[in-house]
Amino acid sequence: MSRQPRFTSFLVTGGVVGLLIGFFLSLVGHPATRYDSAAALGFLGLIFALLGVLVGGVIAVLLDRRS
């Protein structure tokens, strides 16, 4: 009996981790003069959340193929 990864949990976890990384980078980075901090926070959070979902999906597919 092989266990298959649950894709939803990998996608959600990747999205949350990416969102947290985006928030952290927006707070640590130097302030841009063209955008306020809320816009940078939202933009980086969204971009890194999407990247996290992508990475989580790739990991889930790789683990699924291995099992």
Percent of the chain that is helix, strand, coil (3-state, to 5): 80, 0, 20
Supply the pTM of this predicted model.
0.82
* pLDDT tens digits for range 8-18: 999 999 999 99
- pLDDT one-digit tens code per residue, 15-50: 999 999 999 988 887 776 687 878 888 888 999 999
Residue 1 included in any domain? no
Q: How many domains does the chain have?
A: 1
How much is the pLDDT for 62? Answer: 92
Question: What band does 2 get if pLDDT is binned at 50, 70 and 90?
Answer: low
- Domain assignment of residue 21, yes or no: yes
Q: 30: left (phi > 0), else alpha (psi -120 to 50), else beta? A: beta
The amino acid sitting at 26 is S
**Domain assignment present for 2:** no
**Angle at which helices 37-66 and 7-28 cross, to 10°:** 150
- 67 near 2, Cβ under 8 Å? yes
Answer yes or no: is 60 within a domain: yes
Residue 61 domain-assigned (yes or no): yes
Task: Flag whether pLDDT at 54 surpasses 90.
Answer: yes
Q: Is residue 16 part of a domain?
A: yes
Range of the structural domain that residue 39 is part of: 7-66
